[in-house]
Structure 1
Amino acid sequence: MVDRLVLGSGPLVSSVAGSLQEQSGTVQVVTADEKRAESLRETGISVFTLDPTDPATLERFDDVDVVAALDTAGEHNLAAVRAAQRVFPDVYMLAYAGNDSAVDDAAFSAIVDRVIDPGRVTAQFVMERAGDAGRQMRQLWRILRELDSLAVVTHDNPDPDAIASGVALATLADATGCDAEVCYFGSINHQENRAFVNVLNLELRNLIESSEVESFDGLALVDHSRPGVNDQLPEEMPVDIVIDHHPPRTPVDARFVDLRSDVGATSTLLVDYLDQFGLDVSDDVATALLFGIHVDTQAFSREVSQRDFLAAATLTPQADLATLERIESPSISPSTFETIAAAIRNRRIEGEILLSSVGRLADRDALAQAADRLLMFENVTTSVVYGFADGTIYVSARARSTEIDLGETLRDAFGKIGSAGGHIDMAGAQITMGVLEATDEREESLEQIVESVVADRFLEAADTYLTEGPARVYTPETAEEYLEPGADIDRREPPAEEGEGIGRGRALSENGESETERNDGSGSP
Structure 2
Amino acid sequence: MVRRLVLGCSALGHTLIEHARERRGEVYVVTDDAGWVTTLRESNVPATEADPTDAAAYPDDVDVVVLAADDAERNLAAARAARRAYPAASIVAYVGVDADAATRESIAAVADRCIDPVAALTRRVLEVVDADADERIVDLVGTLRSLSGPLAVVTHDNPDPDAIASAIGLVRVAESVGMDADACYGGEISHQENRALVNLLDIQLRHLESVDLAGYGGIALVDHSRPGINDSLPTDADVDLVVDHHPPRGPVEARYIDVRPDLGATSTIVAEYLDRLAIDLDRRIATALLYGIRIDTRDFTREVAVADVEAAAAILETADVGTLERVETPTVSPETFETLARAIREREVEGSVVASCVGEIADRDALAQAAERLLDMEGVTVTFVYGFLDGTIYASARARGADVDLGETLRDALGQIGSAGGHADMAGAQIPLGILGAVEDDSAASLTDVVRESISGRFFETIADAPAPPTADVELTGAAVSSGTGGETGAERDDEEKTEDTGHDTDADT
Query: Which residue does the alignment assign to 2:229?
Result: 229
Residues 1:374 and 1:138: Cα distance change in structure 2 (over 3 Å): same
Structure 2 residue 457 is the aligned partner of structure 1 residue 456: yes
Structure 1 CA distance for aligned equivalents of residues 25 and 240 of structure 2: 46
Structure 2 CA distance for aligned equivalents of residues 107 and 465 of structure 1: 64
Deviations 1:439-458 (A, max 9, x none): 44343443233234433333
Query: Which residue does the alignment assign to 1:355?
Result: 355
Larger mean CA deviation between 76-85 and 366-375 belongs to 76-85
Contact 1:371 1:398 in 2 (8 A): yes
* Greater Rg by CA: 2
Q: Give 1:121 shift.
A: 3.0
Residues 1:510 and 1:334: Cα distance change in structure 2 (over 3 Å): closer
Residues 1:40 and 1:489: Cα distance change in structure 2 (over 3 Å): farther
Structure 2 CA distance for aligned equivalents of residues 403 and 105 of structure 1: 56
Structure 2 residue 485 is the aligned partner of structure 1 residue 493: yes
Structure 2 CA distance for aligned equivalents of residues 419 and 80 of structure 1: 71
TM-score w.r.t. the length of structure 1 is: 0.86
Structure 2 residue 120 is the aligned partner of structure 1 residue 121: yes
Q: Give 1:345 shift.
A: 1.6
Structure 2 residue 374 is the aligned partner of structure 1 residue 374: yes
- Identity of counterpart residues, as a percentage? 47
Query: Which residue does the alignment assign to 2:448?
Result: 447
Task: Provide the secondary structure at the position in 2 that maps to 1:208.
Answer: helix
Residues 1:236 and 1:58: Cα distance change in structure 2 (over 3 Å): farther
Contact 1:357 1:387 in 2 (8 A): yes
Task: Provide the secondary structure at the position in 2 that maps to 1:248.
Answer: coil
Question: Please, what is the CA RMSD of the aligned residues?
Answer: 3.1
Query: Which residue does the alignment assign to 1:201?
Result: 202
Query: Which residue does the alignment assign to 2:471?
Result: 472
Contact 2:262 2:487 in 1 (8 A): yes
Structure 2 residue 182 is the aligned partner of structure 1 residue 188: no
Query: Which residue does the alignment assign to 1:507?
Result: 497
Q: Give 1:460 shift.
A: 3.4
Query: Which residue does the alignment assign to 2:419?
Result: 419
Query: Which residue does the alignment assign to 2:280?
Result: 280
Structure 2 CA distance for aligned equivalents of residues 249 and 474 of structure 1: 7
Residues 1:189 and 1:126: Cα distance change in structure 2 (over 3 Å): same
Structure 1 CA distance for aligned equivalents of residues 203 and 292 of structure 2: 13
Aligned-partner residue type, residue 450 of structure 1: V
Aligned-partner residue type, residue 223 of structure 1: D
Contact 2:158 2:500 in 1 (8 A): no
Aligned-partner residue type, residue 207 of structure 2: N
Structure 2 residue 92 is the aligned partner of structure 1 residue 102: no
Residues 1:447 and 1:171: Cα distance change in structure 2 (over 3 Å): same
Structure 2 CA distance for aligned equivalents of residues 202 and 90 of structure 1: 51
Query: Which residue does the alignment assign to 2:157?
Result: 156
Residues 1:277 and 1:45: Cα distance change in structure 2 (over 3 Å): farther
Query: Which residue does the alignment assign to 2:390?
Result: 390
Structure 1 CA distance for aligned equivalents of residues 26 and 138 of structure 2: 40
Structure 1 CA distance for aligned equivalents of residues 77 and 501 of structure 2: 54
Contact 2:382 2:400 in 1 (8 A): yes
Q: Give 1:326 shift.
A: 2.1
Residues 1:381 and 1:132: Cα distance change in structure 2 (over 3 Å): same
Query: Which residue does the alignment assign to 2:170?
Result: 169
Structure 2 residue 306 is the aligned partner of structure 1 residue 327: no
Q: Give 1:342 shift.
A: 1.2
Task: Provide the secondary structure at the position in 2 that maps to 1:231.
Answer: coil
Task: Provide the secondary structure at the position in 1 that maps to 2:204.
Answer: coil
Q: Give 1:37 shift.
A: 4.1
Structure 1 CA distance for aligned equivalents of residues 78 and 507 of structure 2: 53
Q: Give 1:205 shift.
A: 0.7
Q: Give 1:184 shift.
A: 0.7
Residues 1:71 and 1:335: Cα distance change in structure 2 (over 3 Å): same
Q: Give 1:212 shift.
A: 2.0
TM-score w.r.t. the length of structure 2 is: 0.88
Structure 2 CA distance for aligned equivalents of residues 329 and 430 of structure 1: 27
Structure 2 CA distance for aligned equivalents of residues 81 and 352 of structure 1: 66
Task: Provide the secondary structure at the position in 2 that maps to 1:137.
Answer: helix
Q: Give 1:491 shift.
A: 4.4
Task: Provide the secondary structure at the position in 1 that maps to 2:243.
Answer: strand
Structure 2, unmatched stretches of 5+, are: none
Deviations 1:140-163 (A, max 9, x none): 112222233111111111122211
Deviations 1:15-61 (A, max 9, x none): 43345556777655444444444455556655444455555555435
Structure 2 CA distance for aligned equivalents of residues 24 and 287 of structure 1: 26
Task: Provide the secondary structure at the position in 1 that maps to 2:227.
Answer: coil
Q: Give 1:204 shift.
A: 1.1
Structure 2 CA distance for aligned equivalents of residues 345 and 184 of structure 1: 36
Structure 1, unmatched stretches of 5+, are: none
Task: Provide the secondary structure at the position in 2 that maps to 1:465.
Answer: coil
Query: Which residue does the alignment assign to 1:344?
Result: 344
Structure 2 CA distance for aligned equivalents of residues 90 and 115 of structure 1: 17
Contact 1:245 1:263 in 2 (8 A): yes
Structure 2 CA distance for aligned equivalents of residues 106 and 411 of structure 1: 63
Task: Provide the secondary structure at the position in 2 that maps to 1:169.
Answer: helix
